[in-house]
Amino acid sequence: MNQSSTNTPLLDIKNQRIAFVHASWHTDIVLNSLEGFQAVMSECGYDISKVDVFSVPGAYEIPLQAKLLAKSGKYVAIACSGLVVDGGIYRHEFVAQAVCTGLMQVQLETEVPVLTAVLTPHHFHETGEHIEYFLRHFIKKGRELGRVCDSAIRLTAVSKAQLAE
């Protein structure tokens, strides 16, 4: 049975708090993922007024904020979004790898699902064509993030309930 497609009696999804952490770089693009994320979470029955949004300076700062939020015990999941592009003082591959590794470590240490839509395009250029593409793409990625978040919340609730038996 696919847990994400069932309404599990163990979880009152309307009352669950979710954190959404995003990098401040390219917010005009990155916040489109929040739009897609909230749309899907609403479709799945979540109260999107219980999605708390946190802005951090850049993608590199996302894992620490995610860990602090996970350790607070207030959130059933933490969704993260950012756009890591080449051209800064660090190579973008290094930053992207550090963010992904950090987020995986957070969820393993805290047992709170930490999900990522931190994207690293190979050749991002701040031209109208690329910006338009990524504006649309981040809505799509936000919707995907919402579906994964719902599935992870439900699966975690079922797994914890089974372990408690």
Distance CA(44)–CA(28), nearest Å, equals 26
Active site residues: 91
The C-alpha atoms of residue 131 and residue 66 are separated, in whole angstroms, by: 27
- Compute the distance between CA of residue 28 and CA of residue 10 in angstroms, rounded to an integer: 37
Rounded-to-integer distance, Cα 116 and Cα 86, Å: 19
Structure-block tokens of residue 72: 């607070």
Taking the C-alpha atoms of residue 85 and residue 32, their distance in angstroms, rounded to an integer, is 17
